[in-house]
Amino acid sequence: MFLKNSVKILHTADWHLGLISWQRLVGIDRRGEQREALRHMIQVARREQVDLIVHSGDLFHQYNQPPRPAIELAVETIMQLRSIAPVVWVVGNHDWYAMGALREAFSPDVLILREFTPVELPDLPVTVFPLPYISLSKFLGGKTGVEIQEQARQKMLNIFRAWERSMKDSRWNVLAAHFTLEECAWYSQANSVRELFLKSVDFPVGMHYGAFGHLHAFIHYCKSRFPIVYPSPLVRDTFQQEKEKTGCVIVDLTEGKQTHVKHISLPSVKLVTVDVEEDADVLKVTREAEEMSEGKEAYVRFCVKSVGIPLQLRSRLASLGGTHWQTVAVHSVFPSPAESTGDQREGSMDIQAIPELFSGFCRSMGLPERIAGLFRRYYQEAAEEEGRDASG
């Protein structure tokens, strides 16, 4: 018989308790939604009879003191989970400053990992290798400049080498990290200037599972020596995640078998984008939002195909809502001739569109046409200057 047999883990991350979304227009407190999702997560942990719960960071949203109700929800949930199985929490980028307020909140048997030191769990054949979030400049002691990714990589490799001494054949080695895996760096949360990117090839041999957090999506990366998983966030916090899953994962580690990873969706509010023509009929737009939310609770964003949205239309759209849905954002999207697709559409525009965009902005703000004219002139001059430089 093997010492380690099998172990079942509930892996979660990115709860962002305290999150208030879409503050520019309305400010939606997501606490109710988060509470509901967590209530289900506790049921999942109980039903699956998990042996361990790993939280891979961003328990809280606020960098500073999280609001009291968020702390209460965190403590309540963590303590309930703790009654089912041991809880390990690896600190994420959003958690650092909240720690001060929390040191006393959790019972000492909730393991809060803030250092890169491996921890052998006392009652389970599991060793956790923690990588709590640290910014690039902090990791390198304030150093900046070129090749900082490479410098950071070397330093990280030294840590991994030291870890190898803590790896035992008789235990499950679980990497718990709040970082971007370079292979997944195309996700929107990744930022190579501020953040250290990890390469899967660098991780020490002998790891069994990578419990990651930080990228807000369900990602099951299988091209490394062991599965690396981002379990998805608790709620969708931006419209870029409109199509992404939310929830947690159940991981089955069994001796002699392939690691089994199962995503569990938890209830969360739908996000719906409705495209609107500049001269659209508001009734028709309302019907469309109604249909697209499919009778489910939804937060709706209107994307108006126009350079700058007339104030009246903006406020009409902002006030729309139904029994299940409400408007949380009104955006202006530049209508491109080759209808771009996907989430990049807000950023994709022709450079010549900028004066148009600005004059649309002036109209909607009630600024005199003269200002738009001046802008157009200086913009053209700058563009020509730039052209001369390029050819010379």
Compute the least distance from the CB of residue 215 to Mn ion, in Å: 8
Sign of CA dihedral 104, 107, 110, 116: positive
Given the structure tokens 């990588």, which residue do they identify?
131
Q: Which parts of this chain interact with Mn ion (CB under 5 A)?
A: 14, 58
Closer to Mn ion by CB, 28 or 292: give it.
28
- For residue 216, the minimal CB distance to Mn ion (Å) is 6
Nearer to Mn ion, 58 or 290 (CB): 58
Sign, CA torsion 309/310/313/316:
positive
C-beta of 14 vs 195, nearer to Mn ion? 14
Q: How far is the CB of 257 from Mn ion (least distance, A)?
A: 31
Q: Which is nearer to Mn ion, 14 or 290 (CB)?
A: 14
CB nearer Mn ion, residue 126 or residue 177: 177
Nearer Cβ to Mn ion, position 241 or 293?
A: 241
In this structure, are residues 249 and 11 in contact, taking their beta carbons and an 8 Å threshold? yes
Least separation in angstroms between residue 17's CB and Mn ion is 11
As measured in angstroms, the least distance from the Cβ of 14 to Mn ion is 4
Q: How far is the CB of 237 from Mn ion (least distance, A)?
A: 8
As a residue count, the chain comes to: 392
Distance CA(366)–CA(98), nearest Å, equals: 44
Distance CA 92, CA 176 (A): 11
Please say whether the beta carbons of 36 and 267 come within 8 A: yes
**What sign for the dihedral angle of Cα 98, 104, 107, 112?**
positive
Whole-angstrom distance, CA of residue 299 vs CA of residue 62 = 22
Shortest Cβ distance from residue 189 to Mn ion (Å)?
7
Tell me the three state secondary structure of residue 133. Answer: coil
Minimum Å distance from CB 77 to Mn ion? 17
Beta strands in 13-139 (DSSP E): 20-21, 28-29, 52-55, 87-90, 111-113, 119-120, 126-131
Between residues 92 and 308, which has the closer beta carbon with respect to Mn ion?
92
Residue of minimal CB distance from Mn ion? 58
Instruction: Please state the closest distance from residue 43 (CB atom) to Mn ion, in A.
Output: 23
What are the φ/ψ torsions at residue 325 (nearest 5 degrees)?
-125, 160
**Complex with Mn ion: residue 19 or 53, whichever CB lies closer:** 19
Q: In 70-217, where do the E strands start and end?
A: 87-90, 111-113, 119-120, 126-131, 172-178, 180-181, 197-198, 209-213
CB of 225 to Mn ion, least distance (A): 26
Scan for tokens 């050819």, then name that residue.
Answer: 391
- Are 231 and 263 within 8 A, CB to CB? yes
E strand intervals along the chain: 6-12, 20-21, 28-29, 52-55, 87-90, 111-113, 119-120, 126-131, 172-178, 180-181, 197-198, 209-213, 218-221, 228-231, 247-254, 260-265, 270-277, 298-305, 325-333
What is the distance, to the nearest Å, from the Cα of residue 202 to the centroid of all Cα atoms in its chain? 24
Helix (H) or strand (E) holding 326: strand 325-333
Number of helices (H) and strands (E) in the chain: give both, helices first. 9, 19
What whole-number distance in Å separates Cα of residue 325 and Cα of residue 302?
12
Output 51 or 58, the one with its CB closest to Mn ion. 58
Of 33 and 58, CB closest to Mn ion: 58
Nearer to Mn ion by C-beta: 28 or 167? 28
Q: How far is the CB of 339 from Mn ion (least distance, A)?
A: 32
